[in-house]
Amino acid sequence: IDSSATALTSASYRIGPTAVHATSYLTKVGKIWKLDDVVVQAKRPAYWGKLAVTINGTTAPSDLAFFPGIYQLSTGTSLLEFRTPSFTVEGPGDYTAGLRATPLAQVSVKGQQTMIAKSQELLAHCLVAQETNPKGCGMNTPLPAGATLAPGTVKRTVTTDGTPFAKSTVLMSSRDSSTVSIATFLTVAVEAKYTSGQVYKGNASVVDATGTIDGENLTVVLS
């Protein structure tokens, strides 16, 4: 179809195993017909969050451009992975749907194992900590007004049955692609002495472990 300086053409080609039948608009520049759309441009999807996503091995910039073809995705960390690590761009009208259909990242097997191990490691540290509110532990035991803790007297014991976090499922945060979490409930018996000689007995609980991923590093806090 040709109308003065514009035209519509059709083409058939294959992208991997996919047969594509596409139509394209052309504009006549001088004596040369040129395609109106050669690449498709789009913004980096917001749901990738802070992940260092790569496309065909290259770090994805804020502004993306694609020729028709097959593209391989990577989260940029071995701790996370895409359920469908590739997408196909058949033509200018296909790109947006193809990329948006790519699911959010999920925690890889290594990520699951690392998160559980890091959570157990932090819990072990928290149980022996001698502060009343050890950082990142979620086990605050406030002292009564005027009371002073006797050094080395804090004893914490997990009373919930089973090995903490051992059978936990690690999930992605719905708000941040670089944050993962474990929902749990651990009861911790706390015993301590004040310098007055009075004995304190009580309980604390851990309901969540949150891990922040930065490349291959995973930092965990309990709450």
The phi, psi pair for 167, rounded to 5°, reads -110, 20
Position 58 scores a pLDDT of 95
103 CB burial (10 A radius; 0-12, 13-18, 19+): exposed
Q: How far apart (Å, rounded) are the C-alpha atoms in residues 223 and 215?
A: 23
Position 102 scores a pLDDT of 57
Q: How far apart (Å, rounded) are the C-alpha atoms in residues 56 and 46?
A: 19
Position 103 scores a pLDDT of 57
Mean pLDDT, contiguous 10-residue spans, the chain (223 residues): 76 88 87 85 83 93 90 93 86 64 79 98 98 94 88 96 95 83 96 94 95 96 97
Position 98 scores a pLDDT of 54
Position 97 scores a pLDDT of 55
Position 53 scores a pLDDT of 92
